[in-house]
Amino acid sequence: MSESSVDIAPARQVRPAARVKTIVLMLSGMLLSAAAMYLVARSELERVAHGASAEGAARIVILTIMAIMVAFSALCAAGFYRVIFRPLSELNRVIFRHAAGDRDARLNWERTDELGMIGHNFDAMVSTISQSEERLRDFAENAVRALALAVDAKDPYTRHHSERVACYAAGVATELGFSAEHIERVHTAGVLHDVGKIAVPDAVLLSQHPLSDEQYETMKGHSVAGERLVEGAGLPQIARWVRAHHERFDGRGYPDGLAGEVIPLEGRILAVADSFEAMTSDRYYRAAMSAQDALAELQRCAGSQFDQRLVEIMVGWVMAHEQKLPIAERFVLS
Ligand SMILES: [Fe+2]
């Protein structure tokens, strides 16, 4: 909070223009009304002095007073509406938009009276709240990123795995023509895709032998655990992609057994990028495949394990970027 750059309106900026204007208008109206009533009453008294009916004169005076009171009340109502009720109504609309989740809603009033001060301080308050929410989101996201890095760092064979998956997934997203912001989210999903492995016991995660059926079932839980962690960090859309990164195009993946385009596109991208990175990295039980062999394996599994279109894009992207990839020393595509 202390680092907030929000400009809170100081009280000295307030000029009670609305209050003064309202009082002056009301006093003027009252004086004019009194003057009008006095003139009417004096005129009727003169008419009575010249023999006119006193009863008729009284009726005229009373009707005149009533008409002036009605007109004065209408003017006061119009003034209050303009000065008080219309701004309050606008304030209510902006509060409602915030309640509906629109954090960009502001009053942006130019007025410098009491209501202007309320409006200015309201805008400053919601800006502070928005900044605090953003900082909390950043903090939560960074915490989950740290967890993902910690998972990778547990095993020397998977160190930097998530960063490389993020790089490949962002490359495919770029080829698909995603917006810069969308590419950034896909990159984040790549970094976080295996964060759920933090919930997998080391005996399973770091096993130097092929996993038993029971251990494999335990390992499979990481996509759902990852979804929960990422969702808890305030990234619900990325959480869905993380959940889907082990789905297969033929429906034989996990955790939901989704097939084809029902699998989120970003989840399918992660699957291709994840597999390519895993194949081109050393493991306890096997040496890294060459990039050429890994691409051939992706193509062999296109249409069954992977989305064929994404495999084609991945192959083209790797061929075009072999010199810039994170593990370029392995990418000699002879
Ligand atoms: Fe995974």
pLDDT digits (tens, 9 = 90+) for 10-57: 544 555 566 677 778 778 888 888 888 888 888 888 888 888 788 887
Q: Give residue 21's pLDDT.
A: 72
DSSP code at position 286: B
What is the domain partition of the chain in residue ranges? Answer: 11-131, 155-330
Report the candidate in 334, 330, 313, 234 with the shortest Cα–Cα distance to residue 271: 313
Q: Which two tokens stand for residue 39?
A: 């003139």
Alpha-carbon gap, residue 300 to 281, rounded angstroms: 19
Count the Cβ atoms, other than its own, within 10 Å of residue 78: 10
Q: Which residues have their alpha-adjacent CB atom under 5 A from ion ligand 1? A: 194
Q: What is the CA radius of gyration of the chain?
A: 36
Give the end-to-end CA distance of the chain in Å, rounded to a whole number. 57
CA of 41 to the centre of ligand 1 (A): 94
Q: Give residue 6's pLDDT.
A: 47
CA of 244 to the centre of ligand 1 (A): 9
- Residues forming beta bridges with residue 283, ordered by sequence position: 286
CA of 157 to the centre of ligand 1 (A): 14
Q: Which two tokens stand for residue 29?
A: 């109206």
CA of 332 to the centre of ligand 1 (A): 26
Residue type for position 237: Q
CA of 319 to the centre of ligand 1 (A): 25
DSSP code at position 283: B
Alpha-carbon gap, residue 31 to 27, rounded angstroms: 6
CA of 206 to the centre of ligand 1 (A): 14
Alpha-carbon gap, residue 266 to 29, rounded angstroms: 69
Question: In the chain, which stretches have pLDDT less than 50?
Answer: 1-6, 8-9, 11-12, 328-334
CA of 322 to the centre of ligand 1 (A): 24
Q: Give residue 326's pLDDT.
A: 66
Alpha-carbon gap, residue 328 to 44, rounded angstroms: 106
Alpha-carbon gap, residue 327 to 282, rounded angstroms: 12
CA of 178 to the centre of ligand 1 (A): 23
Q: Give residue 76's pLDDT.
A: 80
Q: Which two tokens stand for residue 293?
A: 């062999």
Q: Give residue 330's pLDDT.
A: 45
Task: Spell out the residues 6+ positions from residue 282 whose beta carbon is closer than 8 angstroms to its own.
Answer: 157, 288
Q: Tens digit of pLDDT for each residue in 252-262?
A: 999 999 999 99
Task: Spell out the residues 6+ positions from residue 37 whose beta carbon is closer than 8 angstroms to its own.
Answer: 61, 64, 65, 68
- Residues forming beta bridges with residue 302, ordered by sequence position: 306
Q: Give residue 333's pLDDT.
A: 45
Q: Residue 195, Cα to own-chain centre: how many angstroms?
A: 22
Report the candidate in 143, 167, 129 with the shortest Cα–Cα distance to residue 317: 167
Domain 155-330 is of which CATH architecture? Orthogonal Bundle (1.10)
